[in-house]
Amino acid sequence: MSESLTKSVSKPINSQIREITDSDLIALGELLDQSFIPKGGSHYFDDFPVWKLRCSSEMKRLGVFDSSGVLLASASCRLAQVRVVGIPERTPIAIIGAVATSEAARGHGFASQLVEALAKWADSRGAWMAVLWASQYEMYHRIGFDLFGEQSRVLVGDLPFVENSLTVPIHHGWNPNLMRHFLIRTEGVVHSASDSEWISKHKNVQWIWSGDPERPSAFLAYNRGIDLPEMIHEWGGQRDAIKPLISTVAKAQPNLQILLHPCHKWILELTPYQLHTEHLGMVKVFSRMKTNPLFAQFSRLSDSEWISTVLGSPENSAFLPIWFWGLDCA
């Protein structure tokens, strides 16, 4: 989830854009809580701690402030690398999130201004693309973002191997040794050991794992509250341990859904008709990616055509199967 905005028209506001500092965190948290309205007394930062903790020096938080110093709108961006099948090196990207505008300040284009400024900053820092997750498609399309990629989801109770699979003893709660599985992933954002600081701070995420506490064999995580409730959005481990773990959880909570990359359906013995498929997110591609020799044959395409051809759908022969796990989408 990336934004909270609604259309409205209000009087002109004297404002300035500046970087959000740690001294502005209380105001930022209040703005995000008012915009996203977390359930059950929770807070936005409970589901998106990365924007509060500034775990990376390669992060920028921008805000629009009125003449009295009141925060009216916000947007944040962090730089990362993602593994993409078909590209031999890790791809530098920008992840944009925590986009919000106070009700009184909507209708002035503040969110668009902030996101555009962050995209320019990311481009200047060497990113190949900027990604975000949002429902306001038209607004982001106007500033160069298009839908891309594919993700699927299915009820865990409908997975074909669940009924006949053995159950296994399971453990609950975050285990620092789960980071090993994040570090060896073959798709999604590239993590380092220091990312444990913010990954472990997701207060609403339910962690379940099996095996030796010193070396868990498989894990899954679900229920990031604001945007992924009742959704298994992280899972991994040894292939022969993943299915028994998922089966054990599915027998207790068959109505959970599991998010899947196009290649995962073969791991979980799924056929396309069993899946609900949708776009992965929105992306803006910078010129250094479009002009890379890897994509020379597509150099004459418009930005929208390029994204549709290269990042749009597995049905395209040139499709790059880029993927983001749930907690990558901060």
pLDDT at position 255 is 93
Distance, in Å, from the CA atom of 48 to the CA atom of 168, rounded to the nearest integer, reads 31
Q: Are residues 155 and 288 in the same domain?
A: no
Q: What is the CATH number of the domain that holds 50?
A: 3.40.630.30
Q: Are residues 38 and 159 in the same domain?
A: no
- Whether the pLDDT of residue 7 is over 50: the answer is no
**3-state class of 105 per DSSP?**
helix
Contact in structure between 58 and 81 (CB atoms under 8 Å): no
Q: What tens digit of pLDDT does each residue of 216-230 get?
A: 999 999 999 899 999
Q: Are residues 14 and 137 in the same domain?
A: yes
* 0.85 exceeded by pTM: yes
pLDDT at position 219 is 97
Cβ burial, residue 276 (10 Å; 0-12/13-18/19+): exposed
Final residue of a structural domain among 277, 297, 315 = 277
pLDDT at position 8 is 44
Residue in 161, 252, 150, 160 with CA at minimum distance from that of residue 206: 252
Instruction: Provide the domain count of the chain.
Output: 2
pLDDT confidence tier of residue 316, bands split at 50, 70 and 90: low
Contact in structure between 286 and 128 (CB atoms under 8 Å): yes
Q: Are residues 98 and 125 in the same domain?
A: yes
Residue in 326, 205, 199 with CA at minimum distance from that of residue 259: 326
pLDDT confidence tier of residue 310, bands split at 50, 70 and 90: confident
Q: Residue 167 belongs to what domain range?
A: 151-277
Q: Are residues 263 and 158 in the same domain?
A: yes
Q: Are residues 157 and 143 in the same domain?
A: no
Contact in structure between 22 and 154 (CB atoms under 8 Å): no
| Residues 220-250 as b or e (16 or more Cβ within 10 Å = b) | bbbbbbbebeebbbbbbbeeebbbbbbbbbb
Q: What tens digit of pLDDT does each residue of 228-244 get?
A: 999 999 999 998 899 89
Final residue of a structural domain among 256, 277, 298 = 277
Lowest mean pLDDT across 75-84, 207-216, 248-257, 294-303: 294-303
Final residue of a structural domain among 246, 261, 277 = 277
